[in-house]
């Protein structure tokens, strides 16, 4: 089956995109778990964070910069937000295209469950 996040990156599936550039996109999660729930992805297909190599260090830093930027734009940077990467089945990963969840706009709980 084709990767849904590759499809979104290629504009062959629709999503509410809030930021995009040459290397990354941020868009609204279809099933939000918080008032702000964005997904930040690399354009390039990377299945899980375990697949990252040293060559991807710049890209990973860039994804964090995008997260900071969209958190600020959504007005939650100062209040606080959470970044989550689910890796493999026990963590609950369902889409095998690397993504950061950015969650905010409410108090987060810990441990996350």
Catalytic residue among 45, 62, 99, 109: 99
Taking the C-alpha atoms of residue 51 and residue 47, their distance in angstroms, rounded to an integer, is: 7
77/85 with CB nearer ligand 5GP:
85
**Which residue ranges make up the site for ligand 5GP (CB under 6 A)?**
4, 15, 27-31, 39, 86, 92-95
Are 18 and 108 a contacting pair, CB within 8 Å?
Answer: no
Beta carbon of residue 92, minimum distance to ligand 5GP (angstroms, whole number): 5
Question: In whole angstroms, how close is the CB of 37 to ligand 5GP at the nearest point?
Answer: 7
Cβ–Cβ < 8 Å for 48, 96: yes
Give which of 74, 72, 75 is closest to 29, Cα–Cα. 74
Q: Is 99 a catalytic residue?
A: yes
Residues with catalytic roles? 99
């Amino acid at each position: 089956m084709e990767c849904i996040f590759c499809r979104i990156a290629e504009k062959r599936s629709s999503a509410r995109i809030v930021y995009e550039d040459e290397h990354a996109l941020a868009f609204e999660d279809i099933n939000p778990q918080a008032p702000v729930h964005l997904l930040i992805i690399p354009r390039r297909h990377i299945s899980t964070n375990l697949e990252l190599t040293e060559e991807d260090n710049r890209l990973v830093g860039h994804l964090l910069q995008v997260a900071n930027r969209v958190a600020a734009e959504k007005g939650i940077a100062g209040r606080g937000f959470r970044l989550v990467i689910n890796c493999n089945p026990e963590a609950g990963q369902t889409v095998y295209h690397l993504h950061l969840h950015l969650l905010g706009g409410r108090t987060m709980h810990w441990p996350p469950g």
